[in-house]
Amino acid sequence: MSGPPIYATTPQRIWYYGFRVLCGVIFFFLIAPILIIIPLSFNAENFFTFTPEMLRFDPEGYSLKHYRDFFTNPDWQQALWNSVRIAPAATLLAVTLGTLAAIGLSQPHVPYRRAIMAILISPMIVPLIISAAGMYFFYSRIGLQGTYVGVVLAHAALGIPFVIITVTATLVGFDRSLTRASASLGADPVTTFFKVQMPLILPGVISGGLFAFITSFDEVVVVIFVGSANQQTLPWQMFTGLREQISPTILAVATILVAISILLLMTVELLRRRSERLRGMSPG
Partner 1 sequence: MKLKTVLLSTGAALAIAPAAIAQEMADSMTLVSWGGAYQASQVNAYASPYQAMHPDVEITWDESSPEAVAKLRAQNEAGNIAWDLVDVVAADAMRLCDEGLAMEVDHDEILAPAPDGTPASDDFGDLIVSDCYIPQIVYSTTLAYRNDVEDWTGTPDTVCALFDTENFPGTRTLERRPINNLEWALYCDGVAKEDIYDVLETEEGQDRAFAKLDTIKDQTIWWSAAAEPPQLLADGEAVLGSSYNGRWFSAIEEQDQPISMLWDMQVFDLDGWIIPAGLPEDRLARVKDFVYFATDTQRLADQAKWISYGPARESSAPLVSTHAELGIEMGPHMPTDPENAANTLLYNYEWWADYRDDLDAKFQAWLAQ
Partner 2 sequence: MTDAAADAPIPKPDAGDRARPERQEPLLAADGSPLKKSLQRSLRRQKLRAFGLVAPLLLFVLVTFIAPIADMLFRSVENQIVSETLPRTVVALEQWDPEQDELPSEDTFLAMAYDLVEAQELKIHTRLGTRLNYETTGISSLFRRTGRGVDDFGEIYLDQFEDLNPNWDEAGPWVDLVADEGWEHPAPFEPSERFAALMSETAAAYASFARAIQQGSDDNPREEEPWAPVHMALYHDLMRTDPGAIAAYEGPRAEMLREARAAVEGFESQPVREMFVAEEEDWLDPEVWATIKTFSPPYTPGYFLTSVDLKLSPDGEVVAQDEDQRIYMLLFQRTLFMSLMIMGCTILLGYPIAYLISNLPLRTANLLLILVLLPFWTSLLVRTSAWKVLLQQQGVINDTLVWIGLVADDARLTMINNQFGTIVAMTHILLPFMILPLYSVMKTIPPSYVRAAKSLGATNWTAFWRVYFPQSVPGIGAGCILVFILSIGYYITPELVGGTTGTFISNRIAFHISSSLNWGLAAALGTILLVVVLVLYWVYDRIVGIDNVSLG
Helices (H) and strands (E) in the chain, counts: 13, 0
Site string for partner 2, 103-122 (x = CB under 8 A): xxxxxxxxx-xx-xxxxxxx
Q: Is 143 in the site for partner 2 (CB under 8 A)?
A: no
Which is nearer to partner 2, 186 or 284 (by Cβ)?
284
Residues 131 and 138: their CA atoms lie apart, in Å, by 10
Q: Is 139 in the site for partner 2 (CB under 8 A)?
A: yes
Question: 70, 87, 91, 131: which one contacts partner 2 (CB under 8 A)?
Answer: 131
70 binds, options partner 1, partner 2, none, Cβ within 5 to 8 A by partner type: none
In a 3-state reduction of DSSP, which class is residue 28? helix
Question: 44, 86, 151, 165: which one contacts partner 2 (CB under 8 A)?
Answer: 165
Residues 14 and 154: their CA atoms lie apart, in Å, by 53
Q: How far is the CB of 228 from partner 1 (least distance, A)?
A: 6
33 binds, options partner 2, partner 1, none, Cβ within 5 to 8 A by partner type: partner 2
Q: Is 3 in the site for partner 2 (CB under 8 A)?
A: no
Q: Which residues of 151-179 are buried (b: 16+ CB within 10 A; e: fewer)?
A: bbbbbbbbbbbbbbbbbbebbebbeeebb
229 binds, options partner 1, partner 2, none, Cβ within 5 to 8 A by partner type: partner 1
Other beta carbons less than 10 A from residue 211's beta carbon: 22
In a 3-state reduction of DSSP, which class is residue 278? helix
| Contact status, residue 208 vs residue 166, Cβ threshold 8 Å | yes
What 77-81 contacts at long range (C-beta under 8 Å, 24+ apart), as own/partner pairs, is 78/232, 79/232, 79/233, 79/234, 79/236, 79/237, 80/234
Stretch that binds partner 2, among 56-64, 72-80, 151-159, 275-283 (CB under 8 A): 151-159
Footprint of partner 2 on 7-46 (CB under 8 A): 12, 15, 19-20, 22-23, 26-27, 29-31, 33-34, 36-37, 40
Q: Is 83 in the site for partner 2 (CB under 8 A)?
A: no
Q: Is 265 in the site for partner 2 (CB under 8 A)?
A: yes
Residues 89 and 123: their CA atoms lie apart, in Å, by 18
Site of interaction with partner 1 (CB under 8 A):
48, 136-137, 140-143, 145-146, 228-230, 232, 240, 243-246
Question: 44, 87, 151, 156: which one contacts partner 2 (CB under 8 A)?
Answer: 156
117 backbone φψ class: left, alpha, beta (φ>0; ψ -120 to 50): alpha
Q: Is 262 in the site for partner 2 (CB under 8 A)?
A: yes
36 binds, options partner 1, partner 2, none, Cβ within 5 to 8 A by partner type: partner 2
Stretch that binds partner 2, among 63-71, 73-81, 171-179, 194-202 (CB under 8 A): 171-179
What 263-270 contacts at long range (C-beta under 8 Å, 24+ apart), as own/partner pairs, is 264/210, 264/213, 264/214, 267/206, 267/207, 267/210, 268/207, 268/210
